[in-house]
Amino acid sequence: MPSGSEPKEFFFEEQTAGYFEDQLPSAPGQYRYIPFPGPGHLRLVEALTSSGSQHCYYMKEGKKHYFIVLRASSHGILLVHAHTRVEVNE
Protein backbone atom coordinates (compact mmCIF):
# COMPACT_ATOMS: atom_id res chain seq x y z
CA MET A 1 0.00 0.00 0.00
CA PRO A 2 1.33 3.50 -0.74
CA SER A 3 2.81 5.32 2.24
CA GLY A 4 1.17 8.41 3.67
CA SER A 5 -0.82 9.61 6.62
CA GLU A 6 -4.13 8.24 5.37
CA PRO A 7 -4.96 5.01 3.53
CA LYS A 8 -5.82 5.61 -0.10
CA GLU A 9 -7.38 2.26 -0.95
CA PHE A 10 -10.75 2.10 -2.65
CA PHE A 11 -13.36 -0.62 -2.83
CA PHE A 12 -15.78 -2.17 -5.30
CA GLU A 13 -18.48 -4.50 -3.92
CA GLU A 14 -16.79 -4.46 -0.48
CA GLN A 15 -13.51 -5.76 -2.00
CA THR A 16 -10.31 -3.75 -2.32
CA ALA A 17 -9.99 -2.67 -5.97
CA GLY A 18 -6.92 -0.44 -5.84
CA TYR A 19 -4.96 2.39 -4.26
CA PHE A 20 -4.90 6.00 -5.34
CA GLU A 21 -1.37 7.22 -6.06
CA ASP A 22 -1.91 10.92 -5.44
CA GLN A 23 -5.19 12.30 -4.19
CA LEU A 24 -8.57 10.83 -3.37
CA PRO A 25 -11.39 11.72 -5.78
CA SER A 26 -13.17 14.87 -4.67
CA ALA A 27 -14.50 16.02 -8.06
CA PRO A 28 -14.96 14.63 -11.58
CA GLY A 29 -11.68 13.97 -13.36
CA GLN A 30 -8.84 11.53 -13.86
CA TYR A 31 -7.09 9.92 -10.89
CA ARG A 32 -3.95 7.80 -10.92
CA TYR A 33 -4.23 4.48 -9.14
CA ILE A 34 -2.51 1.15 -8.61
CA PRO A 35 -4.79 -1.87 -9.25
CA PHE A 36 -5.05 -4.31 -6.34
CA PRO A 37 -4.29 -7.85 -7.55
CA GLY A 38 -7.47 -9.56 -6.44
CA PRO A 39 -11.16 -10.10 -7.10
CA GLY A 40 -12.20 -6.49 -6.40
CA HIS A 41 -10.26 -5.00 -9.30
CA LEU A 42 -11.11 -7.89 -11.61
CA ARG A 43 -14.83 -7.52 -10.88
CA LEU A 44 -14.64 -3.74 -11.35
CA VAL A 45 -13.02 -4.08 -14.78
CA GLU A 46 -15.51 -6.78 -15.82
CA ALA A 47 -18.47 -4.68 -14.62
CA LEU A 48 -17.19 -1.58 -16.43
CA THR A 49 -16.82 -3.59 -19.64
CA SER A 50 -20.19 -5.31 -19.47
CA SER A 51 -22.42 -2.72 -17.79
CA GLY A 52 -20.75 0.69 -17.93
CA SER A 53 -20.13 3.03 -15.01
CA GLN A 54 -19.80 1.59 -11.50
CA HIS A 55 -20.00 2.87 -7.92
CA CYS A 56 -16.88 2.54 -5.78
CA TYR A 57 -15.95 4.07 -2.44
CA TYR A 58 -13.07 4.87 -0.12
CA MET A 59 -13.07 5.34 3.64
CA LYS A 60 -12.18 8.67 5.22
CA GLU A 61 -12.65 9.51 8.89
CA GLY A 62 -14.82 6.42 9.33
CA LYS A 63 -17.22 7.32 6.53
CA LYS A 64 -17.72 5.90 3.05
CA HIS A 65 -17.12 8.36 0.23
CA TYR A 66 -18.70 7.10 -2.99
CA PHE A 67 -17.65 7.97 -6.52
CA ILE A 68 -18.69 6.77 -9.97
CA VAL A 69 -16.04 5.22 -12.19
CA LEU A 70 -16.67 5.67 -15.90
CA ARG A 71 -13.53 3.91 -17.10
CA ALA A 72 -10.30 2.33 -15.88
CA SER A 73 -7.44 2.56 -18.35
CA SER A 74 -4.58 0.11 -18.72
CA HIS A 75 -2.26 2.99 -17.80
CA GLY A 76 -3.48 3.21 -14.18
CA ILE A 77 -5.99 6.03 -14.62
CA LEU A 78 -9.57 6.04 -13.32
CA LEU A 79 -12.01 8.38 -15.02
CA VAL A 80 -14.36 9.51 -12.25
CA HIS A 81 -17.70 11.12 -13.04
CA ALA A 82 -19.00 12.20 -9.64
CA HIS A 83 -18.26 12.14 -5.96
CA THR A 84 -20.66 12.04 -3.02
CA ARG A 85 -20.10 11.54 0.67
CA VAL A 86 -22.32 9.14 2.54
CA GLU A 87 -22.48 9.34 6.32
CA VAL A 88 -22.12 5.69 7.32
CA ASN A 89 -20.44 4.66 10.56
CA GLU A 90 -19.42 1.04 10.51
Closest to 8 measured CA to CA, from 77, 74, 78, 58: 58
75 located within any domain:
yes
22 located within any domain:
yes
3 located within any domain:
no
53 located within any domain:
yes
Residue 26's CB is within 10 A of a number of other CB atoms, namely 12
Q: Range of 41's domain?
A: 9-84
User: Residues 32-79: pLDDT tens digits?
Assistant: 999 999 999 999 999 999 999 999 999 988 899 999 999 988 778 989
Q: Report the number of distinct structural domains present in the chain.
A: 1
1 located within any domain:
no
pLDDT at 1: 47
d(CA 57, CA 88): 12
pLDDT at 82: 72
76 located within any domain:
yes
| Residues ≥6 apart with Cβ < 8 Å to 10 | 16, 17, 18, 19, 20, 33, 56, 57, 58, 67
Which is more confidently placed, 35 or 86?
A: 35
pLDDT at 7: 67
Write down the pTM of the prediction. Answer: 0.82
2 located within any domain:
no
pLDDT at 85: 62
